[in-house]
Amino acid sequence: MKKADKFVLCYVTERQSLRVEQGQNRETALSQRIEKAVRAGVDWVQIREKDLSARDMVGLTCAAIKACKTVSARSDARILVNDRLDVAWAAGAGGVHAGEKSLPLRVLVDARSSTALANFLVGASCHSLEGAIDAAEAGADYLLFGPVFETPSKMSYGPPQGLAKLGQVCSAVSIPVIAIGGITVENATACRKAGAGGIAAIRLFQHDCDIAEIVAALAGQ
């Protein structure tokens, strides 16, 4: 996957922090949120629900894919699955994202190459320049790099990397680098100027916000 002109917007799910209506289960609420996100113009949705069983993950991923298909104007939206290659393949997702506890990246890339799946993306998270270069050389189609800014969900990965380090990583690899960690409408432009091919976020797209308004603001930058 080469760097492109389009600035990718990626919604990373976290249903446990999603506000739900009384009597509504979180999986249904998340599927509805995904549909709203795709309808608004979000490009990728990464299903990141590590506590679910494989069966439940497949069900949720299939529901997310179905939600995307109901939005005819956004038929190019892509559902990615965090960690679980088996779930991504079983559900017919658009790609898999390798986390720290996933199968080795080269195994995922080789597995993708041995199938007839077209346009199936293999991405990877990285938290250093060296890690980014290694992932790109291993065959990743894109990278999530961060945390760029301070954020509660990424505290375990250390202090914020900052825009300067983001820029170094973007310059060092030929694949898209998606900035993650503390992303807001206000700082997304700075990420783009640093060379990022997009941004990924949980709170920006999920926490009591008008997704259409958020996407419109990002697109206008």
Any domain includes 211: yes
Any domain includes 1: no
Domain that holds residue 145: 8-219
Any domain includes 137: yes
Tell whether the model's pLDDT for residue 80 goes beyond 80.
yes
Cα–Cα distance for residue pair 183/168, rounded to 1 Å = 18
Global pTM? 0.92
Q: How confident is the model at residue 156 (pLDDT cuts 50, 70, 90)?
A: low
Residue 164 contacts by C-beta under 8 Å, 6 or more apart in sequence? 194
Number of domains in the chain: 1
Any domain includes 2: no
According to DSSP, the residues that pair with 80 across neighbouring strands are: 46, 95
Q: State the CATH number of the domain containing residue 31.
A: 3.20.20.70
Any domain includes 47: yes
Q: Which residue has the tokens 């599927």?
A: 31
Using an 8 Å Cβ cutoff, are 161 and 151 in contact? Answer: no
Burial class from Cβ neighbours inside 10 Å (0-12, 13-18, 19+) for residue 54 reads exposed
Q: Which of 28-32, 71-75, 176-180, 205-209 has the lowest mean pLDDT?
A: 71-75
What confidence tens digit (pLDDT) does each residue in 82-96 have?
Answer: 999 999 999 999 999
Torsion angle in degrees (nearest 10) through CA of 89, 107, 105, 61: 10
Any domain includes 56: yes
Q: Which residue has the tokens 């030929």?
A: 174
Any domain includes 12: yes
Any domain includes 3: no
* 214, two tokens: 């958020």
